[in-house]
Amino acid sequence: MDPHTPSKTGTSFFRTCFNGVNALSGFGILSIPYAMAEGGWLSLLLLFFLAAVCFYTGLLLQRCMDSNSLVRTYPDIGELAFGYKGRMLVAFFMYLELYFVAIEFLVLEGDNLYKLFPKAEFHLAGIRFGGKQGFVILSALVILPTTWLKNLGGLAFLSAGGVLASMILVVSVLWVGTVDGIGFHERGTLIRWRGIPTAFSLFAFCYSGHSVFPSLYSSMKDRSKFSTVLIFCFVLCTITNGVMAVIGYLMFGEASKSQVTLNLPVGRMSSKIAIYTTLISPLTKYALIVVPIVNSIEEKLHVSKNRFISILIRSAVLFSTVIVALAVPFFGYVVALTGSFLSCTATMLLPSACYLKIFRGWRRWGMELLAILGIVVLGAFIAVVGTCVSMKQIIRSL
C-alpha cells in the first residue's frame, strides 16, 4: 500500500502535532538562557540553524520509512540500512540518551527543591545528606513506585502536559521580568567563541525528538501530512525556545544559571509557579523514559513475566541513575554532554548515514548530497568538540 494513502484508522493530524510538540518540549528549555550566556547573542542564530537541520533530518527518516512498509521504529531504520549491527547501534544511542535524561530528571528535582528549601537536611542510617543530595534521594523514593507499574496510561496522560508546562514556564519567567521587578536590563555579550561548543550542544538537546518521529509517522491516519506536522512542531518549539532565550538572557545576562528557575526570586508567586511546574514533569515522565530500557533488559533476560525480577530490575535502574546524579550533579554540563554526544548522533549523524545507505545517495552528486555531507560534518564536529568540552567541565567540577 502507498504509505501516503490515508487509512481508516490511526492518529489524526492534530493529535500527531500535539504528540510531536510534546516530544520536543522537554526540560532543555530551562537551559536556553544559560546557552546564550555561554555563546552570546549571535549564538541564537545557531538555535534557528539547528532547528532547520533537525527538521530536514526528520524528513530523511520519513523517506527511509517510505522505502519499506515493514519499518515502524527508529531501530528498524537502522536495521534496514546496516543490518542487525545498525539496529543495535541506533538502539544503543536511543537507550543511552534516555538513561542520561533520567539522570538529569533527578538532578533537576534536587536543584529546584533545594532552591525552595535551602535549609533542609536529611539523615539516613546515621548519614547526613546535604540539601541537594537529600532531595535527589527523596525524589527517587517518590518516583520508585511509578517505575513498578506495567500500565503507564495515567502517567502518559499527565506527562502529555509537557506542552502546557513549557508555555507556563515561559509566561512565568516573562511575568517575573515585567511585573515582579527583575526587568530586562542585561546587555550580554555579542559572541563568546569559547562557549559556542556548549551552546551548540545545549541547543541540539532541545531538538532531540527523532527517536519518536518514526513511531508518530507510522501511527498517522494520513501520512502525507507528516512533513506539515514536522513544520508545525519545529516552528512552535523554536518560537518558544527563542522567546525564553531572549527574555532569560536580557533578565540575567552572564549570571544565567544552568536552569533559569534557579535564577528566579523564590518569594514571588510567579517564580513558585515556574519552579513547581518544573518539578512536576520529572515525577510523571521518569517511568515513561526508562520503560524502553527496562523492557529491553527484561526481554534479553526473558524475565518480563516474572513480576518480582521485573521490580528488581526497575529498582536497580533507578538506583543506578541516583548514584550518577549524586556523583555528577551538574545539570548544565550533563545536558550539554547529552546534547553533543547523544542528541547530535541521533538527530544528525544516524539519519544522514541511514538515508545515504538505503538510497545509495553518495552515487548521485548534487545539492542534496552536499547538504547531507555538510550535516554529517557539522554533527561530527559538535559530537567531538562538544563532548570534549563537556567532559572537561564535568571533570573540573568534581
pLDDT in tens, the chain (398 residues): 455 555 556 788 888 888 888 888 878 899 999 999 999 999 999 999 999 999 999 999 999 999 998 898 899 999 999 999 999 999 999 999 999 999 999 999 999 999 988 887 777 666 777 778 889 999 999 999 989 987 766 666 666 777 788 889 999 999 999 988 888 999 889 999 999 999 999 999 999 889 889 988 988 888 889 999 999 999 999 999 999 999 999 999 999 999 999 999 988 899 999 999 898 888 878 988 888 899 889 888 888 888 899 999 999 999 999 999 999 888 989 999 999 999 999 999 999 999 999 988 666 777 889 999 999 999 999 999 999 999 999 998 87
For residue 169, the tally of other CB atoms under 10 A from its CB is 24
Query: Is residue 41 domain-resident?
Result: yes
Cβ atoms 270, 93 nearer than 8 A: no
Query: Is residue 6 domain-resident?
Result: no
The model's pTM is: 0.89
Cβ atoms 286, 108 nearer than 8 A: no
Name the grid cell of 164: 502546557
Query: Is residue 8 domain-resident?
Result: no
72/41 Cα distance (integer angstroms) = 40
Query: Is residue 2 domain-resident?
Result: no
For residue 105, the tally of other CB atoms under 10 A from its CB is 24
196/202 Cα distance (integer angstroms) = 10
Query: Is residue 279 domain-resident?
Result: yes
Burial class of 272 by CB neighbour count within 10 A (0 to 12, 13 to 18, 19+) = middle
Query: Is residue 293 domain-resident?
Result: yes
129/143 Cα distance (integer angstroms) = 19
Where helices occur in 74-130 by DSSP H, the ranges are 74-116
The domain containing residue 262 runs over which residues? 15-397
Our count of domains for the chain comes to 1
Query: Is residue 228 domain-resident?
Result: yes
Nearest to 105 by CA among 131, 72, 157, 143: 143
72/317 Cα distance (integer angstroms) = 27
Provide the 8-state DSSP code for 253.
G
285/160 Cα distance (integer angstroms) = 9
Query: Is residue 4 domain-resident?
Result: no
CATH code of residue 277: 1.20.1740.10
- 301-318 pLDDT per residue, tens: 888 888 899 999 999 999
Name the grid cell of 342: 547523544
Cβ atoms 315, 47 nearer than 8 A: no
Cβ atoms 344, 206 nearer than 8 A: no
